[in-house]
Amino acid sequence: MEFKGLLRKMKAVFGDPIQYCLSLNEEFDLNPLIGSHLTISWTGVIVCSGCQKNIKKSFGDGFCFNCFSTGAESSPCIIRPELCRAHLGEGRDVEWELLHHNVEHIVYLAANDSIKVGVTRGTQVPTRWIDQGASQAVVFARTPNRFEAGRLEVELKSLFTDKTNWQKMLKNEVNDEIDLIEEKWNLYETLPDDLLIHFSDEDDFLEMQYPVMHYPTTIKSLTLDKYAILEGELIGIRGQYLMFSNGSVFNIRKHTGYEVSFIVN
C-alpha cells in the first residue's frame, strides 16, 4: 500500500487502546499497521498550514514565517495562555480569538514520570491529553476563557512542570505512585480562594492505553530535514510519535505540511 500527501496531526479516538488515523491522499487507520514495515519518503515539498504556499522551512505547527509571526493560530498565548486578550475583544484576529479562546478552557493535571499542568479548550479533552502521550489525566478547573486558565496555570507551574519529557514518555517511564486525585484535592486545601473560583470537583480521571507492542530502551528522534527517507518496523504509536523497532521515533505533528510518500510493506 502507498499513500501520498501532506502530513497533518494524527487523529486520535479514545479507546482501549487509543485508535489512530492519518490523512494523506486518503484517510487510513494506523493501528492495524503496527508490526508492519513502513517507508516514509519526503518529496522535498513543504506547504504552509496557513497561506498554503510552498516554503523552504516551517515554523510552529507548519507555518511560513509570515503566518507564524502574524497568524492567530500561532499567537504568543498559544504557548502562554496568561497573555491571551480574547476576553477583552483583542488579538491578532479578534473573530478567531473569540471563537477559540473566549470559550471554556480546562486546566488539567496529567501524569507520566511526573505531574504536568496544562491548559486546553474544553472541546479538546481528551484529545490534548492523548497528543501529549499522558498515561492519565484529570480536570482541575473549568474556566470561562483562556486568560483565566493561563492565570491559574502560572500559579501551578511553581509546583509542577508544564513540559512533557518526551523521551521518558516514549520509553514508558511512568511513576505509578502518582495519585492525581489526591494531588488535586491537596491543591484545593492549600491554594488561596481566589485561585479556586473555577475549581472543578470532578473526581473522574482518565487512563490512556496506547497501541504499543513494546517500548524501546533508547530513543533516537529522526527528522525528514536530515533523513529524507525513514523506514523500519512500526512497533507502536504514542502522543504524535511513530515508534520503530530500532529505537527511532518520528514526530508526525512536527512535520505538518511536509509532502510524503507513505509505503506499507
Instruction: Report the distance separating Cα 101 and Cα 77, nearest Å.
Output: 9
Q: Considering the chain, what percentage of its residues have pLDDT values greater than 90?
A: 94
Answer whether residue 265 shows pLDDT above 90.
no
Residue 64 confidence class, pLDDT cut points 50, 70, 90: very high
Return the pLDDT at 1. Answer: 86
Average pLDDT over the chain reads 96
Domain boundaries, the chain: 2-62+212-264, 75-207
Answer whether residue 50 shows pLDDT above 90.
yes
Q: pLDDT tens-digit profile of 121-137?
A: 999 999 999 999 999 99
Q: pLDDT tens-digit profile of 182-212?
A: 999 999 999 999 999 999 999 889 999 999 9
The pTM assigned to this predicted structure is 0.94
Mean pLDDT of 25-39: 94
- Placement of cell 500561532 in the chain: 74
Query: Of how many residues is the chain composed?
Result: 265
Q: Considering the chain, what percentage of its residues have pLDDT values greater than 70?
A: 100
Instruction: Report the distance separating Cα 231 and Cα 222, nearest Å.
Output: 10
The answer to whether the beta carbons of residues 4 and 262 sit under 8 Å apart is: yes
Return the pLDDT at 25. Answer: 79
First to last CA, the chain: 7
Residues contacting 45, CB < 8 A, separation 6+ = 54, 258, 259
